[in-house]
């Protein structure tokens, strides 16, 4: 914004303007310019300084990045921790991730598991058939294992895939709080507490409490240990996996490290 003054109108000095502005509008800065015989007064917001939680330096407000733990960090500290974290934090109010559901990968894991079961059952059936009927018993054993394993796969594999989908975790961090749930969000299924009450470590996807006995492919993830109730001394806890892609895993690690969230062994 700005205002103009005629050539013959007395214009206060910059010092007088700044003194008056600091009294009535301390959050603004004022500048006076002269062009074509006219004076123009313009004011703009002043960036107040904030203290970075990590390095404890006072930096201008336009160089501050507020992360999802609710604390302010200077741009330099965030970019040193991870340039990907800095870019993501500027465009996302929440750090939110849901484990991706890749139907093809789940079915491949299910079929591999079923193949192992079929081979073991086929070997036992052929051995038993040979001991009773001789060489023709091997054919009987193969036929019996094919029928039984086929029926078992048709009835159970779709259920295994569906259960794995229901167990996929979602983790949301915003304003110093963390929310964790599985499948569809239900109010009585959400675990919510301050971020400082959780701990983290690197691990495998099936170390997630809900994915332990599923056919989810094994891969490296970040494991969050979340108590059932807010409190660090509780021994009862649940584990949620996040960081399902390389980029998201780097962002999670950089954020949790910078926010000084406890790391478990």
pLDDT band at residue 145 under the 50/70/90 scheme: confident
Which of 116-120, 143-147, 253-257 shows the highest mean pLDDT? 253-257
Which of 147 and 108 is assigned the larger pLDDT?
147
Q: Are residues 183 and 87 in the same domain?
A: yes
Q: Are residues 148 and 242 in the same domain?
A: no
Report the CATH number at residue 201. 2.30.29
pLDDT band at residue 3 under the 50/70/90 scheme: very low
Q: Are residues 196 and 160 in the same domain?
A: no
Structural domain total, the chain: 3
Residue 50 included in any domain: no
- Distance between CA 131 and CA 2 in Å, rounded? 100
Residue-level pLDDT at 231 = 46
Residue-level pLDDT at 140 = 77
Residue-level pLDDT at 118 = 75
Residue 51 included in any domain: no
Residue-level pLDDT at 20 = 56
Residue-level pLDDT at 23 = 54
Residue-level pLDDT at 204 = 93
User: With 50 as the cut, is the pLDDT of residue 1 above it?
Assistant: no
Give yes or no for a contact between 189 and 170, defined as CB atoms under 8 angstroms apart.
Answer: no
Indicate the Cα dihedral angle 77, 83, 84, 90, nearest 10°.
60
Residue 171's DSSP bridge partners are 97, 180
Q: Are residues 90 and 196 in the same domain?
A: yes
Q: Are residues 154 and 197 in the same domain?
A: no
Which of 170 and 157 is assigned the larger pLDDT?
170
Say which residues have a Cβ less than 8 Å from residue 257's Cβ, sequence separation at least 6: 81, 263
Residue-level pLDDT at 191 = 87
Q: Are residues 221 and 197 in the same domain?
A: yes
- Distance between CA 171 and CA 213 in Å, rounded? 20
Cα 125 from chain centroid (whole Å)? 48
User: With 50 as the cut, is the pLDDT of residue 5 above it?
Assistant: no
165, 189, 212 - which closes a domain: 165
115, 130, 165 - which closes a domain: 165
- Distance between CA 194 and CA 230 in Å, rounded? 7
- Distance between CA 142 and CA 137 in Å, rounded? 9
Q: Are residues 259 and 188 in the same domain?
A: yes
User: With 60 as the cut, is the pLDDT of residue 216 above it?
Assistant: yes
Residue 165: name the closest of 117, 111, 104, 226 by CA: 104
Residue-level pLDDT at 94 = 94
Mean pLDDT of the chain: 78
Q: Are residues 225 and 158 in the same domain?
A: no
Give yes or no for a contact between 169 and 181, defined as CB atoms under 8 angstroms apart.
Answer: yes
Q: Which domain holds residue 228?
A: 60-98+169-265
Among 59-68, 160-169, 251-260, whose mean pLDDT is lowest? Answer: 160-169
- Distance between CA 204 and CA 206 in Å, rounded? 6
In the chain, how long is the greatest CA-to-CA distance? 120
User: What tokens were used for 249?
Assistant: 């895993």
User: With 50 as the cut, is the pLDDT of residue 2 above it?
Assistant: no
Averaged over 76-91, what is the pLDDT? 94
User: What tokens were used for 156?
Assistant: 């159970």
User: With 60 as the cut, is the pLDDT of residue 85 above it?
Assistant: yes
Q: Are residues 139 and 26 in the same domain?
A: no
């Amino acid at each position: 914004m700005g205002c103009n003054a005629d050539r013959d109108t007395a214009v206060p000095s910059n010092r007088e303007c700044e003194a008056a502005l600091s009294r009535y509008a301390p959050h603004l800065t004022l500048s006076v310019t002269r062009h074509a015989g006219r004076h123009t007064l313009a004011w703009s917001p002043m960036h107040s300084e904030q203290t970075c939680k990590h390095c404890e330096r006072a930096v201008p407000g336009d160089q501050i990045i507020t992360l999802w733990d609710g604390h302010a960090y200077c741009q330099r500290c965030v970019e040193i921790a991870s340039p990907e974290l800095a870019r993501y934090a500027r465009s996302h109010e929440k750090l939110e991730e849901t484990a991706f559901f890749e139907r093809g990968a789940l079915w491949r894991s299910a079929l591999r598991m079923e193949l192992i079961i079929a081979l073991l059952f086929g070997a036992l059936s052929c051995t038993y058939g040979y001991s009773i009927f001789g060489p023709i018993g091997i054919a009987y054993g193969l036929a019996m294992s094919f029928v039984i394993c086929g029926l078992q796969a048709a009835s159970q594999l779709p259920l295994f895939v569906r259960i794995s989908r229901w167990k996929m975790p979602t983790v949301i961090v915003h304003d110093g709080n963390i929310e964790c749930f599985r499948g569809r969000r239900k109010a009585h299924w959400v675990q919510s507490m301050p971020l400082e009450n959780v701990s983290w470590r690197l691990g495998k996807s099936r170390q997630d409490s809900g994915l332990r006995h599923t056919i989810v492919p094994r891969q490296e993830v970040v494991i969050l240990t979340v108590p059932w109730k807010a409190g660090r001394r509780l021994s009862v806890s649940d584990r949620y996996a996040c960081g399902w892609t390389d980029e998201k895993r780097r962002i999670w690690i950089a954020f949790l490290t910078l926010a000084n969230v406890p790391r478990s062994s």
